[in-house]
Amino acid sequence: MNNLKAFLLLAAGITITFFSGCDANNIIDNNISMPSRNWSYVNKVKAVVEITEPAKSYNIYFKLRHTADYGYSNIFVLFHLREPGQKRESRRYEYRLAQPDGQWNGAGSGNLYTYTLPLLTNYKFPKAGKYELEIEQNMRDNPLKEISDAGIKVSAIAP
């Protein structure tokens, strides 16, 4: 009997852990590894998201991971958004990655620092359809060294 209780508790714990790790509101969540930790201008992070409910609000994030040897306290990126049948719209963003004393703002794990940075919050797509999202690094260095990977995350905001 005790073995059965232990088994049921273990099974329940694994099930809870498995389902709590998934976010049902994520429409897309991708990362692109940078070759040799060098993000060059040609390595654009791209995603296509299909919006079926334009009345909903969404958050769009830039995901970044760099090593402790990254040479700057900030990063500039260009974010491009193309809606179906329209011209591409672009915005330039600057993100502070470190404090003035050099302390990294990201979550650290070993030699890597991870960020999920907002691009558009509470954003409503104008109409249903497939949208192309693209992020490119916009620093003077090409390639930008010690960038492990970058990505895009789009989440629907629960009503």
Residue 10 has pLDDT above 90, yes or no: no
Tokens 């009997």 -> residue: 1
12-24: average pLDDT: 43
Is it the case that residue 16 has pLDDT exceeding 50?
Answer: no
**What pLDDT was estimated at residue 14?**
41
Residue 20 has pLDDT above 70, yes or no: no
Q: Taking the model in full, what pTM does it have? A: 0.82
> Where do the domains of the chain lie, and which CATH numbers do they carry?
26-156 (2.60.120)
Contact, 43 vs 32, CB < 8 A? yes
d(CA 116, CA 64): 7
100: left (phi over 0), alpha (psi -120 to 50) or beta: alpha
pLDDT, tens digit, 9 for 90 and up, residues 28-73: 999 999 999 999 999 999 999 999 998 999 999 999 999 999 999 9
- Per-residue pLDDT of 66-112, as tens digits, reads 999 999 999 999 999 999 889 999 999 999 999 999 999 999 988 99
> Please, are residues 134 and 80 in contact by the beta-carbon 8 Å criterion?
yes
Q: Is 77 exposed, middle or buried (0-12, 13-18, 19+ CB in 10 A)?
A: buried
Percentage of residues in the chain with pLDDT exceeding 90? 77
Residue where the block lists tokens 């915005």: 91
Give the burial string for 88-115 (b: 16+ CB within 10 Å, else e).
eeeeeeeeebeeeeeebebeeeeebbbb
Q: 23 or 33, which is more confident?
A: 33
The confidence score (pLDDT) of residue 62 equals 98
